[in-house]
Structure formats: structure tokens, C-alpha cells
Amino acid sequence: MQWKNLAAITLSIASVMPQASAQKRVAPSPDCLDARAMREMLQAGPRLFVASDREGNRFRIDVAQECEGGRGSVTVLAPGGWVCGTGGEAVRTAQAQCPVSGLTRIDAREYARLARGKDDATGEDDTTPTLEATEVREARPRGFAGSPNYCFTPRYLRAWSESPDGLQVEVSPRHPGGHRFYRVELAGSCPDLFRAQEIAFHSAMDLGMICGNPGDTVRVVDAEARLFGARQRHPPPGSLACAIGAVYPIGDEGRRQGASD
């Protein structure tokens, strides 16, 4: 398949056990989350958090009670710094301390779905206020919303290709988050997309990022429409819009698999 070229919050970690020695840390179980290596944590629902670590692992963290988050700091309390969902662990926000009731390793697609506020129990959008997505070692840029773990910024787009699941896009190495390839799943049929020579992405919330939020679209643009709308902020008239259902990063393995379909 041919690629088509295109012309804070502060997250703190605490342990209820003494600090470990300089020796290599060994997880109690392969499915545990190393709280000291967390890179991002978001509240995805009243009793639900999602987290990712520096190795790219992603987790769903369920808590035993509704946990008010607000916009303060969030602290993970865990024996030895390991969250395994086996008891004695808690998530502490500015308003509450909530015991962890379960931990589940999830993939990038599920992480993106939950981070956008879609709880497994209902499948519906959750309007509960969430903790802002940030990285531990970086200050939160003013006006930033979304995360490279479930969004990409179109201005960094380098190439795209079709796949049975929608689109695969490649972004510049300068794109925040360290991901180079993303899958963009469409919310419905979009046959014109697979004959397109040029496309344009549009964020309904004017975030400057495409996350699969309601109203996010990809549009087929013809040359005449592009010239007509070249100086416009929004996609040019005459383009055909296709709704986007989900966005998430994929590694080289997933990219090669999609390219061979």
C-alpha cells in the first residue's frame, strides 16, 4: 500500500512502604503498574481512572467509591509503589481518598475510548469533570486539552494511507508524546475517502487536535476547494465530511499489519 505524501496538574507518587533500594525493582505480578514510572493519569469516570507508564503500558484503575477529582493533584498510594488491584492501594485526589478495587491492563484503543469519557458499564459519554491530561515532568501548556495517547495534531501530519479500519496517519518526529503512527477509525461508511488525493481534519471543539470527540471529522478535499479555502481556518466548502469515531497510537507492528491488509 502506498503512503500518500502531504505538500497541570502535578502528578505525585507516594508509597506506604519505605523507599526501595537502588536495586532493580521486581513487580509482584506481571500485570502490576509501577506507580513510580507513571507518565500520565486521567480520571475517566466517577469510579474510574486510566494510567500509562514510561514503557507505553496502559491500565484501567477501578476504585471502590465515587472519587471527586477536580483539578488538584492526584497521588497513588501503594505498597512498595506497585498497584496490582489486590488491596491496600488507593488513589488520593484533592477531595477524596479512594481504595483501588481493580487493575486491568488495556490496549491503546481501549485507553483512548475510556479517556474520552466512555465508561464500559454504560457505553455512554460521562460528563463527570476529569483530571487534565498531563505528563509528570512537564508543565501543562495553557489551553492544552487532550493527550497524544488518544489524540494527534494535524499540523504535524506527514502522510496517510487507507486501511479496512479507516486511516493510518504518520506524524512528524516533532509531534508531542513520542508516537509516530496513529489509527483513525471512522464512525460510519466513507467510500469517497478511499479515492481521495487530499484530506483535511477538523476538530469540532477547536482544540487543534483530533481525538475522536463528537464532531471531529476528516474531509475529502478536491484541488479547487482547497484553493478556495486555503486562507480559511475551517475546512473549505465543497469537501465531504466523514465522522471520526476513535484515535489511538499504533506501533510499527500494527502499522505493518494494517499496510498488508
- Give dist(CA 134, CA 132) in Å, integer: 6
Give the pLDDT score at 195.
75
Q: What pLDDT, on the 0 to 100 scale, is given for residue 153?
A: 94
Angle (CA) 209-60-134 rounded to 5° is 40
What confidence score (pLDDT) does residue 154 get?
Answer: 94
Q: What is the mean pLDDT of the chain?
A: 75
| Residue that has been written with the C-alpha cell 488491584 in this structure | 85
Q: How far is CA 119 from the centre of its chain?
A: 15
Residue 40, pLDDT above cutoff 70: yes
CA angle 186, 192, 197 (to 5 degrees): 100
d(CA 222, CA 227): 9
The string of pLDDT tens digits covering residues 69-107 is 655 578 899 988 999 998 899 999 888 899 999 999 999
| Closest-CA residue to 9 (of 88, 70, 89, 65) | 70
- Please, are residues 166 and 153 in contact by the beta-carbon 8 Å criterion? no
Its pTM stands at 0.71
**Cell 483539578 -> residue:** 71
Give the H or E element holding residue 226. Answer: helix 223-228
Single-letter amino acid code for the residue at 229: G
pLDDT at 17: 44
Task: Assess contact for 75 and 33: CB atoms under 8 A.
Answer: no
The type of residue at 151 is C
- Tell me the C-alpha to C-alpha distance, in Å, between residue 261 and each of 1, 39, 164, 254, 255: 9, 33, 7, 11, 10
End-to-end, the C-alpha distance of the chain in Å comes to 9
pLDDT tens digits, residue range 234-257? 555 556 788 999 999 997 544 544
What's the confidence (pLDDT) of residue 82? 93
Q: What is the DSSP code (8-state) at residue 213? A: -
Of the candidates 124, 121, 110, the residue with the CA atom closest to the CA atom of residue 214: 124
- pLDDT tens digits, residue range 99-156? 999 999 999 999 999 988 765 443 444 433 333 333 333 333 333 368 898 999 999 9
* pLDDT given for residue 73 in this prediction: 73
Instruction: Judge whether residue 29 has pLDDT over 90.
Output: no
Confidence (pLDDT) at 71: 55
3-class secondary structure, 31 = coil
DSSP type of residue 210 = B
Looking at residue 164, its pLDDT comes to 75
